[in-house]
Amino acid sequence: MAGKKVLVLGGGFGGVQAAISARAALDSTHEVTIIDRNRVTHLCGMNPLLIVGERETDKAGRSLGRLANRGIKYLEASIDLIDTEDRKVATSAGTLDFDYLIIALGAQYDWDAVPGARGAYSFYEFAYARRLRRRLSRLKRGKIVIAASKPPYKCPPAPFETAMIINWWARKKGIRKNIEISVYIPEPGPLGVAGKAASMQVRNALDQRGIELVTAAGVTEVAPDGREASFANGSSTSASIIATIPVHRLPDVVAASGVANGKPWVPVNRTTLETSTSNVFAIGDVNVVPAGDFAIPKAGVFAAGQGKKVSEVIASRINETPTPGPYDGVGFCFMTYSGGRSATVGGEFLAEGGPDTFLSEPTVSGMKSKERFERDWRSFKI
């Protein structure tokens, strides 16, 4: 049998796991290539601790070039065109053909969807997180606002986690009495995707720490000087620091390919994560997998699980082995409350009868699990 070409677009959680798993399941006659314009990618889940100096910037990244040690070809290039009909992908470094395509390009941040957000603070990109870290290091008093515009956004616990970490940091520095912390979200409650019990747990945790939560109030505009924000409920507030969560949308190159059929995110087969085009798959933040009243959260562990499942499906087709079981929607996010304690929120989102979810209590052992997770990510175990 002639060798097959498996092409992975995107070097995040899902893309890397798909490439590693596919390479392990296929013999050397088959080729696995991953494309990403950034040779070094960063673990954005470290950013909430990075902004308060609890993580170092030089330990927040990993080089995709190291995948060559696993027999995976890496191409550092931007993706210009995805042609599913002719089964080709045009990049800044040339055109590649494929037999199997895995689209794992994540969500594109639309900083201009909220006027003023591009010039404000954020912790959702590495460069923005470093800038916010510098600003926080100088803060002695004032108000900090964390504001989301509209769902979905990556790692649903992030706004609440970040607020609690800042609260812990301010107490450690002895300036908490001089600091106000507010979280504005567009949803009717926090962490709704994890269920009513988890949502109430988060509300209580914020309240116990003196953190204001304003619901049904997505940010609509940030003033040019970055010190005032307006919200969908008609309110506005002034602050020393306004950190926004950017609007997430489908990457332009994916939308132009037609695999989304004009929808906001790429629809996929729930069991195989295959798009409407045969042997073309979409995983992670770029897709939508309905789960009860919500969808599978946009978070790294879910993307990695999808990458593994897709590689199993592809390997079964190439190796002519039995079709693997369906994608189960299992995953989690860490939710850190301080520099020493972390919780876990997650579950089986495609469980029979609806999502089966949980939010654990924050513990020291939870933080150790998070630290181990970060080490495993850097060494490509995840």
Provide DSSP, 187-210: SSSTTGGG-HHHHHHHHHHHHHTT
* SS3 call for 147: strand
pTM of the model: 0.96
| Domain identity same for 120 and 243 | yes
| Domain identity same for 88 and 211 | no
| Domain identity same for 131 and 236 | yes
Q: Which of 248, 281, 310 finishes a domain?
A: 248
CATH number, domain of 203, equals 3.50.50.60
Nearest to 139 by CA among 181, 182, 172, 179: 179
Domain that holds residue 93: 5-37+77-107+250-327
Q: Which of 248, 265, 287 finishes a domain?
A: 248
341 lies in some domain = no
Spell out the per-residue pLDDT of the chain, length 382, in tens. Answer: 689 999 999 999 999 999 999 999 999 999 999 999 999 999 999 999 999 999 998 888 999 999 999 999 999 999 999 999 999 999 999 999 999 999 999 999 999 999 999 999 999 999 999 999 999 999 999 999 999 999 999 999 999 999 999 999 999 999 999 999 999 999 999 999 999 999 999 999 999 999 999 999 999 999 999 999 999 999 999 999 999 999 999 999 999 999 999 999 999 999 999 999 999 999 999 999 999 889 999 999 999 999 999 999 999 999 999 999 999 999 999 999 999 999 999 999 999 989 999 999 999 999 999 999 999 999 999 8
| Domain identity same for 99 and 151 | no
- How many Å is the maximal CA-CA distance in the chain? 70
First to last CA, the chain: 31
Domain count, the chain: 2
| Domain identity same for 238 and 126 | yes
Q: Which of 248, 265, 292 finishes a domain?
A: 248
